[in-house]
Amino acid sequence: MTTTVTNQSKTRLLAVSECLCRPEFILACLLALIIALCVALSMIKAQPIAWAGFGLGLTPTLGLFAVGVYIRQFKNQPRIAQLAIANSLFLGFMGITTLLIYLRFPISELVYDQWLMQADAAIGYSWPNIIKTVAANPDYGYVLRFVYLSSLPQLFIMVAYLALTGRAETLNQALLAGTLSLLLTTLIWWIAPSVGPSAFHSLPAGLESQIGLVTNSNYAEILRSLAHQGLEVIRPSDIVGTIAFPSYHTVMSLLVVWYLRGTPLIIPALMLNIMMIPAILSHGGHHLVDLAGGMLVFAVAAWFATRSWMHHAKG
């Protein structure tokens, strides 16, 4: 009986794997490994996690993945199938890497932020001065706020456009580059954690409210608390962005612009993401060198995404 059940499970897994193209299969396996890593780390560190909450958050991921596999296997709608599977993988990686990041807290001392601020100072960059400059024109500051918050919607618009216009190969490369860069960003941050200059500076009263600063004093206090104490229980409701170097907002901007090149959406994407540079520096609470780190991470991930073995099995 046990052998029969095992064989049936293997048959189902084989059927699912045959419905996935190679990049999707690679990323689905990576996602499963990262989930297993999070479970292992939580046990090793004795870190309580609200698994029910994270499980609920993964429901859209599993649902979209199942819908995509079903459509690809039984319906003649390959573009819709790819759209569903790509979105499911992006959502899954974003959710599980967030948990992986939080398993790094607490951090004994934020020494890397000190080094990054020294590097910024050496080239004349100051985050408080950037905020003061932006706040001199509050309307511009609020525009940058909305630009900064547009990163994730832009990513899903890109996925939808590439899928629905039949640019399957481009979408596969974007999917690989986006997820590999997210994993590389997380790995670098685990080795050298930094939370950004907002946690180390107090801005003049009323300045942050003039532009609706995203990384405001409350946000900075959360970052300091995470670094020093961590969380008693990691819950989805407590999650905020914590990575300074390398900047994943920079990666997302490059991702959108690079993989929409040659399409009618490149001009609005380019215009919006040029404005993303000051938005990341101000509302993102970033060191200037964080952007350089994001560019390098994207370049490495995009290069790997073009390797033939990522798309086709040898032989």
Band of the pLDDT at 310, cuts 50, 70, 90? confident
**Inter-residue contact 158 to 263 (CB < 8 Å):** no
Q: What is the mean pLDDT of residues 24-34?
A: 95
- pTM of the complete model: 0.92
φ, ψ for residue 297 (rounded to 5)? -60, -45
**Inter-residue contact 252 to 273 (CB < 8 Å):** no
Q: Kind and range of the H or E element at 277?
A: helix 276-282
Per-residue pLDDT tens digits for 132-169: 999 999 999 999 999 999 999 999 999 999 999 999 99
Q: Is the pLDDT of residue 264 over 80?
A: yes
Closest among 202, 177, 191, 141 to 260, alpha carbons compared: 177
Q: Which amino acid, 51?
A: W
